[in-house]
């Protein structure tokens, strides 16, 4: 595979496995919620567990926190076996989806609660609470009760409380799902800044792929209790392992076809769905005639009235069925003669593009040779 | 717009308020008459003889009634407290100790005293106390102790229901958060669960207090000589004829019960909000 020259990535501090999950299985009433998962997370990483509801991501997080015990397997944190250590003795803290603030305690007492359990001297507790509230910019609201705060402020209190004990790892369960879209985007970056300042390892559970992409240094996609793929956001998006990942992370066009030519540097696929041949600029170990699926992202699709010139990965003529104008982008849906629908995303660079293709027009869709990815399953 | 809505509005404008007025009249006119007659100057309960507060004065000089009132308040406070402690534990166990198998049966059994006829509760407790006396020598005689125990059984059931309802509303992750921050089980209960249950406990205690104050049937079964509660004294007096003194006493009881029920309702509303 030819990776882009040097995409900007955020690298963790070290590659040492800081949190090690080995062959962990958890069943509830015969249902395998977590099915034999092994995973290493490095120190200082923001690792995102991404999956739909019932994928087992929350169960895995709860096992890291100690609220569930694995049926089999091992969980290590910083070299120490944690498998049967109760939650109150684990060097990790959790930020709950509902925030789970103590409703009868002030903001400051909420943040101080964990420190009090350690029987630290009072002055030390006060200093640490002050530091934490400054970190999340809530130092002026220390005496408020949780019900007197906005949703975004509550989220910060929960974060400060979970970070106050300087945990070796912070577990975040859907940290931003209760916030509205604008606040969520701001908070995402704040969360990354805080992580950058403290260097704490974050493990984030989310169902929102955009959240996982923005926050994560690496993402593990879960489905039916299994880890399907673990990769950096860019690799996950550009080189999905199978159709499930391609479809789950972002949207995608998938063309089914049979391999007609398999060389070390390229692959040719005959696709009835496209009504033509697909050229892919990477080789693959497969047999001639084997069925493969070619995934092409909508934003890599070109949409023109004229037939494309020069080398293409694939091209076909179709009719514009629908256009969704989203402001910055427009989503086109084009029907090919085979009946397959193709999604193409166009950036709206001009304010009035009178020349843009419109409903019921016959257009050419095409994509560059480097845009497609062949998938075996 | 439509006819249905118009007729619905017509119904709500006239028929519903009238029905409500009739219902409330049936409930409260007798009480109002009783309150008014408690200020009757005449010695005959059914003949109006002008305004007076003399029966309230009589009431305060009546040792038998004062004695009974004292017994009733003592019993109510003790049985409400006992019932609240046990009801709290039952409610907590029902809503927090996972899905153990006989849970439904247990919660049904714990709340059964609410729907059990008072006669059955009273009789069965009386039999229990008699056989305990024969076997253990305690209780040596029936009185305040036995009434408190009897009242505590149904108070406990009410408190358990209120606490369970409250805890079902409360997110278990709040308790998990405390554990995650380093608190062990008893600490979590006292630091987090108990404060969150507090409004339900106060409401349950107040409700228990009024229920105990109201009870006549169970108390009659399990009480002994020298331990008559207020309802028992009132009931025995009424059999000899209603006196204005009883009207005055009933009026005071209404005021007391109203205060407690209002307090309980207020606490429960606060619990719902927090």
CA angle A29-A33-A34, nearest 5°? 130
A180, A215, A245 - which closes a domain? A245
Does residue A147 have a cis bond before it (omega within 30 degrees)? no
Of A96, A118, A147, the CB nearest to B177: A96
Q: Helix, strand, or coil here: B40?
A: strand
CA distances from A109 to A94, A98, A104, A245, B250 (A): 17, 18, 9, 43, 48
Give the residue with greater pLDDT, A146 vs B270: A146
Judge if A258 and A370 occupy the same domain.
yes
Confidence band (pLDDT; 50, 70, 90) for A110? very high
Confidence band (pLDDT; 50, 70, 90) for B103? confident
Which pTM value belongs to this model? Answer: 0.80
Domain membership of residue A311 (yes or no) is: yes
B183 inside 8 A of chain A by CB: yes
Domain membership of residue A355 (yes or no) is: yes
Judge if A83 and A221 occupy the same domain.
yes
- In the predicted model, is pLDDT for residue B22 greater than 70? yes
Say what the pLDDT of residue A349 is.
Answer: 80
Q: In chain A, pLDDT over 70 holds for what percent of residues?
A: 96
Domain membership of residue A365 (yes or no) is: yes
Q: What six digits make up the tokens of B48?
A: 């109006």
Judge if A29 and A84 occupy the same domain.
yes
A175, A210, A245 - which closes a domain? A245
A interface test, pick of B169, B170, B175, B177 with most A CB neighbours within 10 Å:
B177
Domain membership of residue A10 (yes or no) is: no
Crossing angle between the packed helical segments B54-61 and B244-273, to the nearest 10 degrees: 90
pLDDT digit string, tens, across residues A168-224:
999 999 998 888 888 888 888 888 988 988 889 999 999 998 889 989 999 999 999
Give the residue with greater pLDDT, B76 vs B243: B76
- In the predicted model, is pLDDT for residue B74 greater than 70? yes
Judge if A106 and A166 occupy the same domain.
yes
Supply the DSSP symbol for B51.
B
For strands A92-95 and A169-173, give the pairing.
Answer: parallel
A245, A279, A304 - which closes a domain? A245
pLDDT digit string, tens, across residues B164-181:
888 888 888 999 999 999
Query: Residue A173 phi/psi, 5° resolution?
Result: -100, 110
Judge if A171 and A36 occupy the same domain.
yes
For A321, other C-beta atoms within 10 Å of its C-beta total 13
Cβ of A104 within 8 Å of Cβ of B184? The answer is no
Q: In chain B, pLDDT over 70 holds for what percent of residues?
A: 92
Cβ of B179 within 8 Å of Cβ of A87? The answer is yes
Say what the pLDDT of residue A4 is.
Answer: 45
Confidence band (pLDDT; 50, 70, 90) for A350? confident
Judge if A257 and A217 occupy the same domain.
no
A184 inside 8 A of chain B by CB: no
Cβ of B182 within 8 Å of Cβ of A118? The answer is yes
Average pLDDT taken over every residue of chain A: 89
Q: CATH no. for residue A124?
A: 3.40.50.300
Domain membership of residue A6 (yes or no) is: no
CB contact at 8 A, A124 and A155: no
CB contact at 8 A, B34 and B251: yes
- In the predicted model, is pLDDT for residue B124 greater than 90? yes
Q: What's the 3-state SS for chain A?
A: CCCCCCCCCCCCCCCCEEEEEEEEEEEECCEEEEEEEEEEEECCCEEEEEECCCCCHHHHHHHHHCCCCCCEEEEEECCEECCCCCHHHCCEEEECCCCCCCCCCCHHHHHHHHHHHCCCCHHHHHHHHHHHHHHCCCHHHCCCCHHHCCHHHHHHHHHHHHHCCCCCEEEEECCCCCCCHHHHHHHHHHHHHHHHHHCCEEEEEECCHHHHHHHCCEEEEEECCEEEEEECHHHHHHCCCCHHHHHHCCCCEEEEEEEEEECCCCEEEEECCCCEEEEECCCCCCCCCCEEEEEECHHHCEEECCCCCCCCCEEEEEEEEEEEECCCEEEEEEECCCCCEEEEEEECCCCCCCCCCCCCCEEEEEECCCCCEEECC
Sign (positive or negative) of CA dihedral A77, A78, A84, A87? negative
Which residues pair with residue A304 across a beta bridge? Answer: A364
Which residues pair with residue A218 across a beta bridge? Answer: A47
CA angle A171-A182-A62, nearest 5°? 15
pLDDT digit string, tens, across residues B225-245:
878 999 998 888 888 877 788
Domain membership of residue A241 (yes or no) is: yes
Mean pLDDT of A225-250: 92
Mean pLDDT of A138-146: 93
A93 inside 8 A of chain B by CB: yes
Mean pLDDT of A19-23: 94
Q: Quick one: how far is CA B167 from the chain centroid?
A: 21
Confidence band (pLDDT; 50, 70, 90) for B182? very high
Burial bucket for residue A35 (CB in 10 Å: 0-12, 13-18, 19+): middle
Domain membership of residue A231 (yes or no) is: yes
CB contact at 8 A, B199 and B267: yes
Could you give the CA distance from residue A40 to residue A230 in angstroms, rounded to a whole number? Answer: 10
- What is the least distance, in Å, from the CA of A117 to any CA of chain B? 6
Cβ of B178 within 8 Å of Cβ of A94? The answer is no
Q: CATH no. for residue A256?
A: 2.40.50.100
Judge if A136 and A105 occupy the same domain.
yes
Class of domain B61-273: mainly alpha
Judge if A203 and A124 occupy the same domain.
yes
Domain membership of residue A8 (yes or no) is: no
Q: What six digits make up the tokens of A340?
A: 């397959």
For B92, other C-beta atoms within 10 Å of its C-beta total 18
CB contact at 8 A, A262 and A326: no
Cβ of B177 within 8 Å of Cβ of A103? The answer is no
For B273, other C-beta atoms within 10 Å of its C-beta total 8
Burial A7-28 (b: 16+ CB within 10 A, else e): eeeeebeeeebbbbbbebebee
Judge if A159 and A291 occupy the same domain.
no
Could you give the CA distance from residue A39 to residue A70 in angstroms, rounded to a whole number? Answer: 14
CB contact at 8 A, A106 and A143: yes
Which residue from A257, A263, A302, A303 is spatially nearest to A277, judged by alpha carbons? A257
Tokens 């008072």 correspond to: B118
Would you kindly state where each structural domain of chain B is located, as residue ranges? 61-273
Q: What six digits make up the tokens of B74?
A: 């003592």
Q: What six digits make up the tokens of B207?
A: 């409700």
Cβ of A88 within 8 Å of Cβ of B274? The answer is no
CB contact at 8 A, A284 and A262: yes
CA distances from A26 to A84, A225, A248, B178 (A): 13, 9, 24, 24
For A225, other C-beta atoms within 10 Å of its C-beta total 22
CB contact at 8 A, A37 and A227: yes
Domain tally for chain A? 2
Judge if A149 and A195 occupy the same domain.
yes
Which residue from A238, A276, A251 is spatially nearest to A370, judged by alpha carbons? A238
pLDDT digit string, tens, across residues A144-159:
999 999 999 999 999 9
Judge if A38 and A169 occupy the same domain.
yes
Say what the pLDDT of residue B10 is.
Answer: 61
- In the predicted model, is pLDDT for residue B1 greater than 60? no
- Domain with A106, as residue range(s), is 17-245
Judge if A152 and A180 occupy the same domain.
yes
């Amino acid at each position: 595979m030819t990776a882009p020259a040097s995409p900007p990535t955020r690298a963790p501090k070290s590659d040492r496995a800081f949190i090690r999950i080995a062959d962990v299985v958890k069943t509830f009433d015969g249902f395998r919620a977590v099915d034999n998962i092994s995973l290493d997370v490095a120190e200082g990483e923001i690792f995102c567990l991404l999956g739909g509801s019932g994928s087992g991501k929350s169960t895995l997080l709860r096992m890291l926190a100690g609220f569930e015990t694995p049926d089999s397997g091992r969980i290590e944190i910083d070299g120490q076996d944690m498998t049967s250590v109760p939650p109150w003795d684990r060097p990790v803290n959790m930020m709950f989806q509902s925030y789970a603030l103590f409703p009868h305690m002030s903001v400051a007492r909420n943040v101080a609660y964990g420190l009090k359990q350690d029987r630290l001297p009072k002055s030390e507790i006060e200093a640490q609470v002050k530091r934490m509230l400054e970190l999340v910019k809530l130092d002026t609201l220390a005496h408020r009760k949780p019900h007197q705060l906005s949703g975004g402020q509550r989220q910060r209190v929960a974060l400060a409380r979970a970070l106050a004990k300087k945990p070796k790892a912070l577990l975040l369960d859907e940290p931003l799902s209760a916030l509205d879209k604008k606040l969520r985007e701001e908070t995402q970056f704040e969360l990354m800044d805080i992580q950058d300042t403290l260097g704490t390892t974050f493990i984030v559970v989310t169902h929102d792929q955009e959240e996982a992409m923005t926050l994560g240094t690496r993402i593990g996609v879960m489905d039916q209790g299994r880890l399907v793929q673990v990769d950096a956001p860019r690799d996950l998006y550009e080189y999905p392992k199978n159709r499930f990942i391609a479809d789950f992370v972002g949207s995608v066009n998938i063309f089914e076809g049979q391999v007609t030519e398999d060389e070390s540097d390229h692959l040719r696929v005959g696709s009835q769905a496209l009504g033509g041949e697909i050229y892919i600029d990477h080789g693959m170990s497969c047999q001639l005639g084997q069925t493969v699926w070619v995934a092409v992202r909508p934003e890599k699709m070109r949409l023109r009235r004229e037939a494309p010139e020069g080398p293409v990965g694939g091209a076909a003529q179709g009719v514009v069925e629908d256009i969704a104008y989203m402001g910055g982008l427009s989503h086109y849906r084009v029907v090919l003669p085979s009946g397959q629908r193709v999604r193409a995303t166009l950036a709206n660079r001009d304010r009035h593009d009178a020349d843009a293709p419109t409903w019921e027009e016959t257009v050419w869709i095409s994509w560059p040779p480097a845009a497609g990815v062949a998938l075996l399953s | 717009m439509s006819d249905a809505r118009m007729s619905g509005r017509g119904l709500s404008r006239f028929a519903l308020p009238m029905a409500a007025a009739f219902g409330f009249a049936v409930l409260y006119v007798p009480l109002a008459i009783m309150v008014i007659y408690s200020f009757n100057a005449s010695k005959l309960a059914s003949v109006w003889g002008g305004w007076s507060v003399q029966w309230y004065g009589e009431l305060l000089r009546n040792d038998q009634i004062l004695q009974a009132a004292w017994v009733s308040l003592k019993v109510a406070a003790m049985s409400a407290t006992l019932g609240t402690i046990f009801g709290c534990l039952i409610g907590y166990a029902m809503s927090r100790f996972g899905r153990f198998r006989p849970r439904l049966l247990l919660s049904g059994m714990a709340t059964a005293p609410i729907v059990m006829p008072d006669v059955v509760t009273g009789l069965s407790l009386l039999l229990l106390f008699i056989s305990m006396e024969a076997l253990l020598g305690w209780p040596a005689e029936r009185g305040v102790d036995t009434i408190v125990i009897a009242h505590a059984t149904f108070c406990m059931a009410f408190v358990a229901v209120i606490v369970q309802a409250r805890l079902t509303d409360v997110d278990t992750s709040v308790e998990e958060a405390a554990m995650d921050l380093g608190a062990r089980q008893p600490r979590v209960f006292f630091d987090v669960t108990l404060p969150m249950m507090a409004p339900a406990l106060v409401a349950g205690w107040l409700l228990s207090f009024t229920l105990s104050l109201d009870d006549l049937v169970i108390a009659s079964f399990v009480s002994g000589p020298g331990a008559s509660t207020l309802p028992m004294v009132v009931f025995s007096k009424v059999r000899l004829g209603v006196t204005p003194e009883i009207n005055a006493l009933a009026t005071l009881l209404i005021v007391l019960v109203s205060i407690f029920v209002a307090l309980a309702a207020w606490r429960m509303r606060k619990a719902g909000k927090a």
